[in-house]
Structure 1
Amino acid sequence: MNSMNEPAGIFAVIMAIAVVAPYLSDSLGVPVVASMTLIGIILGPQVLGILEPAILIQFVGSLGLIYVFFSAGTEVNVGILKKRAKPVIVFGLLTFFIPFLFGIAFGLALFGQKIISALLLGAFLASSGSLVLQPILHSELLSRESAEVARGGAGISRILVAIVIFLAGIVFPEGGIIPALKTLGLAAAYFAGLYLILPRLASIVIRKTRAQGSIDAVFILFLLFASATLGLFAGVPGYIGAFFAGFLIAPAFSSSKSIASRIDLLGDSLFLPFLLVFIGASADFSQIPSLPMAVALVAGSALCGLGSKLLAAFMAGKFLGYSRADSGLLFGFSSTFAAFSLAIASVAGSTGHFDQPLVNGAIILVILSSMASSLAARNSGSSILQEKTREPRHPSTAGERIMVALSKPGSAHNLMELGIALHRQESGSPLFPLAIISETESGDESRQHAESMLAAAIMQGASSQISVIPISRVEVNVAQGILDSAAEHGADTIIIGWNRPPRLANAFFGSIIDQIVNGGNQMVLVPRTVAPFTASHIVAFLPSFCDR
């Protein structure tokens, strides 16, 4: 099959992959990194031949490499380290040094006397640990101590990995010790300059330009790529400069989620897909000498990568007194070889320290580890949640702050009646009727339509002697607007009507109800109101673990 050479066509294919991959990941229960890389392999020259790792994909993919290292730096959570210093440090050191030493031993056996290749292989095996599992786990597990320790420990491991990658190119240079010392001095001055300037610049821009649209996010991107470029003049690879810049700018990200979301939107929808597709399309499995060699490579990588992470997790769990399920959660969070790991393998391959069979093994390990870590995290999470069901349960507080999403006058009255019936007078909280105006329909008629529904809701609440706070907002995504409003007002229950028949688009993107149920932590009630609500009692039949 002829490969795609037209730039617009290449962009269209990559963007299609960026759209399809998340839904494929949801179906398979694996992170998006694995599905995008797998699609890149299928569309690459080794299978379908639709995409070639040509100049355009390589160029944008190189920007993706910078972005991935920057993103890895921003994921280092200093707050968790301060909150749980001892367990985070213990697990961080174990989850770095055990895979690192395993990788060096495996690398020396595989590469002979090439110490740099062995060090980079150790860094690759220690680089796992990512936030990609967060969306597929129950929110109650993410605040658990073992989950926080896993995320904090992964941050420490990531810092040590970046240091090893940087020093590996300086301690073993081709020009001798004098150029190495010179490079080290320039690098120290470069890192000191970034440390003194970058956080202050980021803070000033975020404080002063927040009202100027997207200029703050653009300026952060300028700081990212400028830091990466300046590092080259000091002998520091651009991706290392990007990692350090991300680490320094991370506190500013935590104080401005809007900037972080805009940069993540650009990076995750443009830079990252190009990088992952480029890595997948560049994979050449024909260079593996034989089937036994391929089996040995995959088995060795899996044993060293996943086995060492499993050993580190259970050693840390034993030392910290965690249960078997919590140790499994440590392993699930720390064993995901994601975009950061693939970026390291790509760097090692481009510099000649990893040959093509080893890069292929790294890609296979990323795909296998994403499945293994997802399974481990889900199983451990299920065990933890089942244990919690055996503990004494306190009365539920759901129903103290109820938000009623109104969209049609015909059902608005009945939905408000249900909200009033469920509202607890003793809570003292108001009822929150919400009307979302679609940005595509934000004309005077739509506003009047929303205002009339909210006015009727206020009168309905007054007649029942319940305080009502009406909310109206303009949003592109109705479901996201409802979730954002619920979070801003602390609502623990959302009532939304079931009015429309299913649409074809819902089979792919999910309905508004699906998006709210999957995207929020609130209890969601979806009544189909065909008659006024006049019941005096509510009887609910609930299956086991429906609240999990």
Structure 2
Amino acid sequence: MLLLNIFETTLPLTNPVLKFLLILVIILFAPIILNKIKIPHLLGLIIAGALIGPNGINLMERDSSIILSGTAGLLYIMFLAGLEIDLADFKKNSKKSMVFGLYTFIIPMTLGTLAGLYILGFSVPSSVLLASMFASHTLIAYPLISKLGVAKNKAVNITVGGTLITDTLALLVLAVIVGMTTGEVNAAFWIRMTGSIIVFGLIVMLLFPIIGRWFLKRFDDNVSQYIFVLVMVFLGAVLAEMAGIEAIIGAFLAGLALNRLIPHTSPLMNRIEFVGNAIFIPFFLIGVGMLIDYRAFFKDFETIKVAGVMIVVATSAKFLAAYITQKSFKFSIDERRLIFGLSNAQAAATLAAVLVGYNIIVGETESGEPIRLLSESILNGTILMILFTCTHATFVAQKGAKNIVLLDSTDTSIDEEENQERILIPISNIETTDELINLGVTIKSKKNKEGLYALSIVDNSSLDDSKHKQAKKILSKAAVTASATDTILHELLRYDLNLVNGITSVVKEHKITDLILGLHISKGISDSFLGNLTEGILTKCNSTTLIYKAAQPFGTIKRHIIIVPEHAEKEIGFPFWIIKVWNIARNSGAKLVFYASVETLKFIREIQSKHPIECEFEDFNDWDDFLILARNFHQDDNLVLVLSRKDKPSFHNSMTKIPSYLNKYFKATSYILIYPMQAGVTDNSQIDLKNPAITEPLEKLDEIGKTIAKIFKRK
């Protein structure tokens, strides 16, 4: 009887279980089916929404639940855009973003106003409001571009920054037009709006990072951290609405504010992207599809005329803005496709503007019919424009992104296996496991998908089975932490009488290139520890070795203070550890502050010019004055010390005092000690940074490795 009650229903569906099941089936199968005929999955969800919606076969209404989920999805898209943006590149290209933002606002505003006045015969307020709809855009194609791995392309960064500018200006135009039609535009209106926007911006950009850092330091529960992020997204959106601007601006700024606190390789970032791409964003796209009314094509000629003008003007204006931006900054054709594809789709802000304009009554006809600021033909035309621009923009963006990926990709053949990056993390303490794995994920190359190894060593002489179980438990925890970032971790359990022998044997057996050792937060670093390390591991293997003590979550660190010894650039391992440091900045967004000699800083500056990250450079030569640096050290800083084995070019006698300095002055802070690869440690190799044996492995890491290889070949 219960089954009959469930399935005996009329259309549209009202049973919440059936409705949710239908949406999940669409999210699952629509992309799969349409991808076979080369239709992007984003467009597939929009088409599916149109089919099941009230203007299609009416399986489902666009009710409050769909609107709520869709609004969350839209805010999610804007939040992800702010969260994934490369802040260093964003700052470097801020002027370009401003220029593009003005191009993509002024050109549509100009063409749209002229089209409204002279082609469609609208009034000035209606024409200006219509033009503001063309000026704004929604980053519909952003999830697709992010999935293809080009979200950090400079053209994408510029477009995302320009989106903030043009959407803000377009929505301000909307507020002004509404104020003019209701007679509220006066000095008090401008003062109130300007003041509220400034207060809103200061709260989000200054207060949100402080709140975020405080929370993430104190609460490490996965669910709590994710819910906290959602709270900040919607809080930013609410504050934006209170300031008189659209919620999407608040969500985007919330993403920017939390950008540095959520490393791109962290488990939290992976959860944010997963839930957004699996649930929230598909709900938004399906909701957009439900607005599409194919019958509008056949209603009357006026709707077709208005829709045609809107589509042509909006598409032409956005293409013109993208074309001028391409020529202004010498972008490639594919980068222009990215800009145009991201900026051509009309949805969120456009819908907000047309619905506001449609609901404003400016008069009545002789028969008593209401005269609206934006007529019903514009409302229907807007729906058709959304369908066309979302479809066209998705195809264009996908083509540009795929071409860029193909251009940047290099095939990795089987004979390159010898030069693959392999990172080994010996673990023995379950409390430090997460941070050690997170550091490994952060420093690895983007191309390294399976080169992470966790090692647990059990005393071979012990008969205690509990040690074996504990080792397996720690390895399992490490694997779970790595899997949360979509990283494959190889679990290695080894029985050995000696810890050093166990580690060095695994390094040789698995051709390990990088070694990460952990220190417990409550323990200092002793002279005997470094002595045993130097005499043991560092003399028996020549991997880049990092010793890490985590006093706080890695994502909450503001700056990494990097102390580099003189002549470090002459060492064979210099390019390899510098790549690790660069990856820390790229994946965490934290600032790097280098203290090094003038000659060393020249190399680092050249790398920074080609791969911008937020850096500061300080001339530093005298390690006897090392303690002076402690004065410039702040609470949320991480100290990175590049050390050397004895009798090597970059060794300094003051390095022997490092343990006592760290225990006395840096006991409550995080630090990383780096021992680079050095010539003559395990063989008689010479220091020759032009040697193909050094440059070829660099070139196979990623774009930074290629750049460093070219620099050393040239030098």
TM interval, shorter chain, is: 0.5 to 0.7
Alpha-carbon offset, residue 186 of structure 1: 2.9
Q: Equivalents in 1 of 2:65, 2:126: separation in Å?
A: 29
Alpha-carbon offset, residue 243 of structure 1: 1.0
Verify the 8 A CA contact 1:124 1:345 in the aligned structure 2. Answer: yes
Look up the match of 1:348: 353
Q: 1:432 to 1:274 in 2, by over 3 A?
A: closer
Match of 1:148 among 142, 145, 154: 154
Residues 437-474 of structure 1, C-alpha deviations (whole Å, 9 max, x = no match): xxxxx986995999985438979757769558799xxx
Look up the match of 2:176: 170
Q: Equivalents in 2 of 1:160, 1:215: separation in Å?
A: 35
Look up the match of 2:521: none
Alpha-carbon offset, residue 135 of structure 1: 4.2
Q: 1:77 to 1:194 in 2, by over 3 A?
A: farther
Alpha-carbon offset, residue 233 of structure 1: 5.2
Residues 239-272 of structure 1, C-alpha deviations (whole Å, 9 max, x = no match): x244135325514224313555444444444443
Verify the 8 A CA contact 1:458 1:468 in the aligned structure 2. Answer: no
Q: Equivalents in 2 of 1:86, 1:379: separation in Å?
A: 27
Kindly indicate whether residue 497 of structure 2 is the aligned counterpart of residue 455 of structure 1.
no
Verify the 8 A CA contact 1:104 1:122 in the aligned structure 2. Answer: yes
Q: Equivalents in 1 of 2:72, 2:26: separation in Å?
A: 18
Kindly indicate whether residue 314 of structure 2 is the aligned counterpart of residue 305 of structure 1.
yes
Look up the match of 2:261: 255
Match of 2:57 among 48, 52, 58: 48
Residues 99-121 of structure 1, C-alpha deviations (whole Å, 9 max, x = no match): 33233333445653344543444
Look up the match of 2:644: none
Verify the 8 A CA contact 2:83 2:256 in the aligned structure 1. Answer: yes
Match of 1:158 among 161, 164, 184: 164
Match of 1:134 among 145, 166, 174: 145
Q: Equivalents in 1 of 2:52, 2:15: separation in Å?
A: 15
Alpha-carbon offset, residue 61 of structure 1: 3.0
Q: 1:78 to 1:347 in 2, by over 3 A?
A: same
Match of 2:340 among 334, 339, 359: 334
Q: 1:263 to 1:193 in 2, by over 3 A?
A: farther
SS in structure 2 of the partner of residue 40 of structure 1: helix
Please tell me the residue identity of whatever aligns with 1:370. Answer: A
Kindly indicate whether residue 28 of structure 2 is the aligned counterpart of residue 19 of structure 1.
yes
Kindly indicate whether residue 371 of structure 2 is the aligned counterpart of residue 360 of structure 1.
no
User: Number of residues paired by the alignment?
Assistant: 430
Look up the match of 2:220: 212
Verify the 8 A CA contact 1:336 1:370 in the aligned structure 2. Answer: yes
Q: Equivalents in 1 of 2:423, 2:68: separation in Å?
A: 48
Q: CA RMSD in A?
A: 4.7
Alpha-carbon offset, residue 40 of structure 1: 0.3
Q: 1:295 to 1:186 in 2, by over 3 A?
A: closer
Q: 1:110 to 1:380 in 2, by over 3 A?
A: farther
Match of 2:107 among 95, 98, 105: 98
Look up the match of 2:397: 374
Q: Equivalents in 2 of 1:338, 1:300: separation in Å?
A: 15
Verify the 8 A CA contact 1:31 1:132 in the aligned structure 2. Answer: no
Match of 1:9 among 6, 18, 23: 18
Q: 1:61 to 1:129 in 2, by over 3 A?
A: closer
Q: Equivalents in 2 of 1:338, 1:98: separation in Å?
A: 13
Match of 1:401 among 420, 434, 437: 420
Q: Equivalents in 2 of 1:169, 1:432: separation in Å?
A: 53
Q: Equivalents in 2 of 1:331, 1:12: separation in Å?
A: 36
Alpha-carbon offset, residue 229 of structure 1: 3.7
Q: Equivalents in 2 of 1:281, 1:270: separation in Å?
A: 17
Q: Equivalents in 2 of 1:155, 1:107: separation in Å?
A: 28
Verify the 8 A CA contact 1:150 1:334 in the aligned structure 2. Answer: no
Q: Equivalents in 1 of 2:118, 2:304: separation in Å?
A: 16
Alpha-carbon offset, residue 13 of structure 1: 2.2
Q: 1:444 to 1:268 in 2, by over 3 A?
A: closer
Alpha-carbon offset, residue 150 of structure 1: 4.5
Alpha-carbon offset, residue 83 of structure 1: 1.6
Q: 1:110 to 1:180 in 2, by over 3 A?
A: farther
Q: Equivalents in 2 of 1:371, 1:233: separation in Å?
A: 33
Verify the 8 A CA contact 1:202 1:249 in the aligned structure 2. Answer: no
Q: Equivalents in 1 of 2:249, 2:173: separation in Å?
A: 14
Q: Equivalents in 2 of 1:465, 1:433: separation in Å?
A: 9
Q: Equivalents in 2 of 1:306, 1:177: separation in Å?
A: 33
Please tell me the residue identity of whatever aligns with 2:333. Answer: S
Verify the 8 A CA contact 1:91 1:150 in the aligned structure 2. Answer: no
Kindly indicate whether residue 147 of structure 2 is the aligned counterpart of residue 122 of structure 1.
no
Alpha-carbon offset, residue 343 of structure 1: 1.0
Q: Equivalents in 2 of 1:342, 1:101: separation in Å?
A: 20
Please tell me the residue identity of whatever aligns with 1:41. Answer: A
Q: 1:16 to 1:368 in 2, by over 3 A?
A: same
Q: Equivalents in 1 of 2:230, 2:383: separation in Å?
A: 31
Unaligned runs of 5+ residues in structure 2 are 1-9, 359-373, 425-450, 457-470, 480-488, 496-501, 517-578, 584-701, 703-715
Please tell me the residue identity of whatever aligns with 2:420. Answer: R
Q: 1:171 to 1:2 in 2, by over 3 A?
A: closer
Alpha-carbon offset, residue 336 of structure 1: 3.3
Kindly indicate whether residue 197 of structure 2 is the aligned counterpart of residue 191 of structure 1.
yes
Kindly indicate whether residue 356 of structure 2 is the aligned counterpart of residue 317 of structure 1.
no
Unaligned runs of 5+ residues in structure 1 are 390-395, 406-430, 437-441, 472-486, 492-546
Verify the 8 A CA contact 1:225 1:242 in the aligned structure 2. Answer: no
The two structures have a TM-score, normalised by structure 1, of 0.63
Verify the 8 A CA contact 1:123 1:165 in the aligned structure 2. Answer: yes
Q: Equivalents in 2 of 1:338, 1:272: separation in Å?
A: 18
Please tell me the residue identity of whatever aligns with 1:368. Answer: T
Residues 500-520 of structure 1, C-alpha deviations (whole Å, 9 max, x = no match): xxxxxxxxxxxxxxxxxxxxx
Match of 1:201 among 180, 183, 207: 207
Verify the 8 A CA contact 1:337 1:369 in the aligned structure 2. Answer: no
SS in structure 2 of the partner of residue 199 of structure 1: helix
Alpha-carbon offset, residue 196 of structure 1: 3.0
Q: 1:272 to 1:104 in 2, by over 3 A?
A: farther
Structure showing the higher strand proportion among its residues: 2
Alpha-carbon offset, residue 90 of structure 1: 3.7
Residues 315-364 of structure 1, C-alpha deviations (whole Å, 9 max, x = no match): 33333344xxx03421333333587x311232134321474322322232
Look up the match of 1:244: 250
Please tell me the residue identity of whatever aligns with 1:362. Answer: M
Structure showing the higher helix proportion among its residues: 1
Q: Equivalents in 2 of 1:227, 1:265: separation in Å?
A: 21
SS in structure 1 of the partner of residue 55 of structure 2: coil
Rg comparison, structure with higher value: 2
